[in-house]
Amino acid sequence: MIIAIDGPAGAGKSTVSRLLAERLGCIRIDTGALYRAVALAATRAGFAARDVPELEAFVTALDLRVTQDAVFLNGEDVSSEIRTPEASRSASAFAAVPCVRAGLMELQRRLGRSAPSVLDGRDIGTVVFPDADAKIFLTASAEERAKRRLAELRALGLGGGLSEVLAEIEARDMQDTNRTVAPLRQAPDAVLVDATSLTLEGAVDACYAAVQRQLDQGRE
Ligand code: CDP
């Protein structure tokens, strides 16, 4: 079983996907963490976010492991390092590079097929698993997303003001939506969940109900 959760930055995909996966008895695969780890590795190796054949080979050769709450890059736990605003910007820049996306495709498909999975990202329902059993497009207003992201950053001991975080989120949405390969967009058969005025529990309930409906339809 494959459940795809796509949506813009800070919509709550991570937390909702984790809780949804628990409720459905699935594993959760954070594909954004893969892009973040790749950006970190490529930056460390001196690559710029440009489409060069060496970059795809570099990406496919990386040893990337994701557990329910950690990400390992060649054995090193990089879970905290990939969560800074700078890492977000860099992830989005490298994610726009076609050879980077190509390099991560096989890994995402392999992980998704290894067990019943909830995968969250930007292009899971449109490109990685267009035949997913259920698809959700989780969004919220930019202001609400900025508030949530600010709270997450504060919890990590990172600073920044609301207007700064809002500007970052809007810039990243713009970049993710306007790239040529696998842009962020709602799949035609995805259910839209707007979490602007929902609590976390409310968002999980709405996603769970939408998934159950799609699974029931698939069984008919
Ligand atoms: O948590 P947040 O929504 O801020 O970001 P994320 O899901 O960790 O993704 C970080 C960046 O990776 C995004 O801004 C996208 O550019 C990229 N990404 C992608 O292109 N495709 C995916 N399936 C997942 C992430």
Closest ligand 1 atom to the C-alpha of 119? Answer: 23
Residue ranges of the chain with pLDDT lower than 70? Answer: none
Of all atoms in ligand 1, which is nearest to the CA of residue 93? 16
Cα of 95 vs centre of ligand 1, distance in Å, is 8
Q: What is the structure's pLDDT at 68? A: 82
Q: What is the CATH number of the domain that holds 37?
A: 3.40.50.300
Mutate to test the pocket of ligand 1, among 5, 92, 184 (most ligand atoms within 8 A of CB): 92
Ligand 1 atom closest to Cα of residue 6: 23
Element (H, E) at 192: strand 191-194
- Which residues have C-beta within 8 Å of that of residue 205, sequence separation ≥ 6? none
Instruction: Identify the burial level of 157 via C-beta atoms within 10 angstroms of its C-beta, where 0-12 means exposed, 13-18 middle and 19 or more buried.
Output: exposed
Which pLDDT score, from 0 to 100, does residue 160 have? 84
pLDDT value at position 57? 92
Atom 21 of ligand 1, residue of closest alpha carbon = 122
Q: What is the predicted pLDDT for the residue at 53?
A: 87
Atom of ligand 1 nearest to the CA of 176: 16
In DSSP terms, 28 is beta-bridged to: 118
In whole angstroms, give the CA distance from residue 105 to residue 122: 13
Pocket of ligand 1 (CB under 6 A): 9-10, 13-14, 31-32, 35-36, 88, 91-92, 95, 121-124, 172, 176
Residue 199 lies in a domain: yes
Distance 64 CA to ligand 1 centre (A): 16
Could you read off the pLDDT of 41-93 as tens digits, one per residue? 999 999 999 989 899 999 999 999 998 889 999 999 999 999 999 999 999 99
pTM for the model: 0.96
For residue 83, give the DSSP letter: G
Q: How many domains are contained in the chain?
A: 1
Does some domain include residue 99? yes
In the reported structure, the alpha carbon of residue 220 is separated from the centroid of ligand 1 by a whole-number distance in angstroms of 34
Residue 216, C-beta contacts closer than 8 angstroms, at least 6 positions apart: none
Q: How far is the CA of 28 from the centre of ligand 1 (A)?
A: 15
182 domain residue, yes or no: yes
Closest approach atom of ligand 1 to CA 95: 20
Q: Is residue 217 situated within a structural domain?
A: no
Size of the chain in residues? 220
Say if 62 falls within a structural domain: yes
Does residue 215 form part of some domain?
Answer: no
Angle at alpha carbon of residue 17, lines to 13 and 18, rounded to 5°: 125
Name the residue range of residue 137's domain. 2-210
Burial state string for 175-202 with b = 16 or more CB within 10 A and e = fewer than 16: bbeebeebebebbeebbebbbeebeeee
